[in-house]
Amino acid sequence: MKNLTQEQWKDALEKDENAFILDVRTEEEFIEGFIPEAKNLDIYKGQDFLNEVEKLDKNKNYYVYCRSGARSSQACALMNQQGIENAYNLMGGITEWEGEIAHQ
């Protein structure tokens, strides 16, 4: 896992053709606004979250965020344990995000 500042995360994401954006907040939080192209996978779902992580392509680079950076940090650690080497945590989460926000 690597903790990236807002700027580092955004720069890396823009240059990465193998990127996958993962929002680990609740579905309710996700609906309120998310980073474009993000897939929602709620870390609070426990075993269901781990089951979904197991299905993810281990060759992709995962850019993970939550509201403030705490849940996404946990998610990255869990993903590393599941064999996903490239998981990047967005420090400060979507709360500090200055980029585009999408809505459903």
Residue 104 forms part of a structural domain: no
Q: What CATH number does the domain containing 24 carry?
A: 3.40.250.10
- Flag whether 102 is in a domain: no
Give a yes or no: residue 76 inside a domain: yes
SS3 66: coil
Q: Indicate if the alpha-carbon torsion angle 46, 50, 55, 56 is positive or negative.
A: positive
**Domains in the chain: how many in total?**
1
Q: What does the pLDDT read at residue 17?
A: 97
E strand spans, the chain: 2-4, 19-23, 39-40, 61-65, 87-90
Instruction: Tell me the pLDDT of the chain (104 aa) as tens digits.
Output: 899 999 999 999 999 999 999 999 999 999 999 999 999 999 999 999 999 999 999 999 999 999 999 999 999 999 999 999 999 999 999 999 999 999 97
What is the predicted pLDDT for the residue at 63?
Answer: 98
85 domain residue, yes or no: yes
Domain extent at residue 66:
2-96
Question: What pLDDT does 57 receive?
Answer: 97
Active site residues: 66
pLDDT of res. 104: 79
Query: What is the rounded CA–CA span in Å between residue 76 and residue 93?
Result: 13
pTM for this structure?
0.97
Burial of residue 47 (CB within 10 Å: 0-12, 13-18, 19+) is exposed
Q: Is residue 13 part of a domain?
A: yes
pLDDT score of 36: 96
What's residue 7's pLDDT? 96
The number of beta carbons lying within 10 Å of the beta carbon of residue 23 is: 27
Question: Does any domain span residue 16?
Answer: yes
Q: Is residue 87 part of a domain?
A: yes
In angstroms, the CA 11 to CA 33 distance is 21
